[in-house]
Structure 1
Amino acid sequence: MATYVLIPGAAGTPWHWHLVEAALRDRGHHVIVVDLPNDDDSAGLLEYADAVVDAVGARGRDGGGVVLVAHSFAGFTAPLVCERVRVDRLVLVTAMVPATGETPADWWTNTGYEQARRERDAHDEGRAPDETGLFYGDVPAVLAAAALGRQRRQSGTPFEEPWPLTSWPDVPTTFLLCREDRFFPAPFMRRVVQERLGITADEIDGGHYVLLSRPQELAARLEGYAP
């Protein structure tokens, strides 16, 4: 049995992981879903990491088998946790990959994100998706509406803080790319992962919120990554 620690992305809440949480529990695993201080303007990246460490508690100090799973913006938080918790594997699910000294606000320009978005829009004949299509395009409509309603206000504070690590943590890392992601287009993320982590991303069908559109498939992938 592994312990999965699931970290939401920007504006995300534990609810956004609830289907994957249930699927992993059904498979016999222990699951911790972190509630981040997204709407707290006094909380930065270190406070986000504190929230994860506090949620993991003694399991991260005394036991093995911790699989840390970060969605989207949580890519800036999860590596900080690996410096303080015994993590057997870090899994980034369509997540941002930071560089030393980089703020999340600068990540978009540094990675060439806007060019990737323009290429995506050109491929779609200039029709940029709305918020629902961007994040929840492949999520059933009722579930997508519920997800939008449960989003929390996201403070800009952590986006202005430089990522403090001087190198990527010495933890086995897997990146799971979503092939139909409209927010982080697949060709863009393949390049970023190769350039910044020096690895080839694993891939799964689905969009940015694959945790809602394909929870059983995602849970199976996560189970396969356990030590």
Structure 2
Amino acid sequence: MATFALIHGGGGSAWEWHLVAEELRGRGHQVVAVDLPIDDESAGLWDYADAVVDAVGERQDLVVVAHSWGGFVGPLVCDRLAADLLVLVTAMIPVPGEPPSDWWGNTGFGHKDISDPIGLFLHDVPRELAEEAVRREREHVGMAYGEPWPLEAWPDVPTRFLLCRDDRFFTPEFMRGVVRDRLGITPDEIDGGHAPMLARPKALADYLTGRS
């Protein structure tokens, strides 16, 4: 059985993974999900990674799963721990030396109106659950945004990318190009929006455990 380290995105928390965690534990796997120190102004990218590393501890057979902004953190965890696989779920893909604040312009992301978070990020999540996710949002502040991504190269670990075909934030057309240009791989694809862990937890767990 594997140990899944589940890394949330910007403004999020470990809570976002609770449905997937339940699915994975029900299949006999271990799950680690922590709140990254996104609300600590003094926390840098290595502090984010260390929060995950400390929680994993001595667990083996590690699969690191990073969502959205967590794409800046997942590879750092793989640099610190012996991971069998890194899975990026509709995630940002950094390059060496790139601060997260520069990613948007460097990739040609453009501007998105984020005034309706449910409509943009959670449109396919059950309404009550989507509203709970919005209530649980945390302010993402601090030095990690402007800090250059510290690795000199992508970690030597097998990497997969899961693209969501109905994502209104990181649209499939945009992300297919980013994945091709930055990882040189073809992404896997599922239906759904930007938060499959809340909208389609069983389907995401199936993918993570190799059943889809």
1:130 Cα shift? Answer: 1.8
Unaligned runs of 5+ in 2: none
TM-score calculated relative to the size of structure 1: 0.90
The RMSD of aligned alpha carbons is 1.5
**Residue 101 of structure 1 pairs with residue 97 of structure 2:** yes
**Residue 54 of structure 1 pairs with residue 54 of structure 2:** yes
Q: Secondary structure at the match of 1:58?
A: coil
Identity in percent? 60
Structure 1 Cα separation of the partners of residues 95 and 142 of structure 2:
19
Output the amino acid matched with 1:161: E
Q: Secondary structure at the match of 1:113?
A: coil
Q: Secondary structure at the match of 1:206?
A: coil
TM-score calculated relative to the size of structure 2: 0.96
**Residue 141 of structure 1 pairs with residue 137 of structure 2:** no
User: Over residues 108-149 of structure 1, what are the superposed CA-to-partner deviations in whole Å (9 max), with x where a residue is unaligned?
Assistant: 00001007x5xxxxxxxxx98722111111111111000001
Structure 2 Cα separation of the partners of residues 113 and 151 of structure 1:
23
Aligned partner (choices 81, 93, 97) of residue 85 of structure 1: 81
Output the amino acid matched with 2:188: D
Output the amino acid matched with 1:11: G
Aligned 1:1-227 pairs, distance under 5 A: 1-59=1-59, 63=60, 65-114=61-110, 130-224=116-210
Instruction: Give 1 or 2 for the bigger CA radius of gyration.
Output: 1
Structure 1 Cα separation of the partners of residues 190 and 142 of structure 2:
30
Could you tell me which residue of structure 2 aligns to residue 124 of structure 1? none
Structure 2 Cα separation of the partners of residues 159 and 178 of structure 1:
25
Structure having the larger proportion of residues in helix? 1
Structure 2 Cα separation of the partners of residues 131 and 8 of structure 1:
16
Maintained 8 Å contact 2:42/2:142: no
